[in-house]
Amino acid sequence: MEVLHEDGHHTPTAPKARNTLALLLSRANQVVEIPALIDELWIDHPPRSAVTTAQTYIYQLRKMFQTAVGSEAAGKMLVTKAPGYSLRVDALEIDVQLFEQRAAEGKRLLAAGRAEEASRRLREALALWRGPALADVNAGRILEAHVVQLEESRLGALQLRVEADLRLRRYRELVPELRSLVATHPLNEWLHAQLITCLRYSGRRGEALQAYQALRRVLDDELGLRPSLPLQRLEQYLLTDPVREDVAPVTLPVSA
C-alpha cells in the first residue's frame, strides 16, 4: 500500500495506522463504523482504550493528509461522520478502482468479440498490480476478506486476458505464462485446460498429455477427485483429433 502525491510518498509507517488507512481505502466514500475499525485493529482482544487509540490513528492520518495536500483539502478527505469516519476521494485515484474499471471494460470488449482490444485493456488493468494485495499491511479479519476478494478479481481478469489471447491464437506465447500459473494455482482446472490447449495447438501433443496427467495426479492426491467431465472431453478432443489451423480449439468457458 502506498499513498502517492505529486511531491512524493506519504504512506504511514506505523502498522496500525496503515491498517486504519487500508480499511478506509477498502471502503472509500463509505462510512467505516468505529466498531468495525476496532475489530480490524484488535480482532477479539481490544484494549479498554480502543476507541481513544483508534481516534489517535485517525488523527495521525489527518496530519499525513495535511502534509500532503494542505489543511483545507485534507479536511474534506477524511471526515468524521456518525457512526465513524469516511475517506472521500475520487474513485480513479485508487489503483484498485481503476483496475476494476479497466477489467470490466476488457470483459465487455471480449463479450463483443473485440479480442485484440480486450487483451490490451486487460493487460492495462493487470499492469496496475505490483504484487499480492496489501502485502505490507498486517491485515485483520476484515481486510483479510477484502484481500481474498481482490485476489479473486485479479485472477478473473487474468483468465479473461488469457481467453482473449486464445481467441487471437497466441498459443506459443501463452505456454510459459500458463506453466507458471498452473504451478501457482495447481487446482484451477480452467488454467490447466488452457495450457493443454496451447501445447496441443503448438504441435506439442506429448507435453499436452503430460500436462493433463499432471493435473489428474494433483486432483487425486489433494482431493481424491478426477478431472471434470468437460476437461476430460477437452483432453480427449485435443489429444486425438487432428489440429486444423482454420478451426479454433475447444476450451472450457472462462469462469470470470
**Domain containing 80 — which CATH number?**
1.10.10.10
Share of the chain above pLDDT 90, in %: 81
Q: Are 31 and 74 part of one and the same domain?
A: yes
Same domain? For 159 and 120 the reply is yes
* pLDDT value of residue 249: 53
Question: 107 vs 110, 113, 162, 188, 245, CA distance in Å?
Answer: 5, 10, 12, 20, 26
Query: Do 255 and 206 share a domain, yes or no?
Result: yes
Residue range 151-171, pLDDT digits in tens? 999 999 999 999 999 999 999
Q: How confident is the model at residue 6 (pLDDT cuts 50, 70, 90)?
A: confident
195 lies in the same domain as 249: yes
Cβ atoms of 32 and 24 closer than 8 Å: yes
On whether both 85 and 96 belong to a single domain, the answer is: no
pLDDT in tens, 40-99: 999 989 999 999 999 999 999 999 999 989 999 999 999 999 999 999 999 889 999 999
Q: 39 and 101 share a domain?
A: no
> Which triple of cell numbers denotes residue 22?
487500508
Which of 8-12, 162-166, 190-194, 220-224 has the weakest average pLDDT? 8-12
* pLDDT over 60 at 248, yes or no: no
Last residue of a domain, one of 34, 57, 89: 89
pLDDT score, position 113:
96
Read off the CATH number of the domain in which 250 is found. Answer: 1.25.40.10
Closest CA to 65 of 10, 27, 19: 10
- As to burial, measured by CB atoms within 10 angstroms (0-12 exposed, 13-18 middle, 19+ buried), residue 48 is exposed
| Type of residue at 188 | N
Q: How far apart are CA 236 and CA 230, in angstroms?
A: 10
- Residue 171: partners with Cβ closer than 8 Å, 6 or more residues away: 197, 198, 199, 201, 202
> Given this model, what pLDDT does residue 11 score?
92
Q: Are 221 and 237 in contact (CB under 8 A)?
A: no
Out of 36, 59, 89, a domain closes at 89
Q: What is the mean pLDDT of the chain?
A: 91
Number of domains in the chain: 3
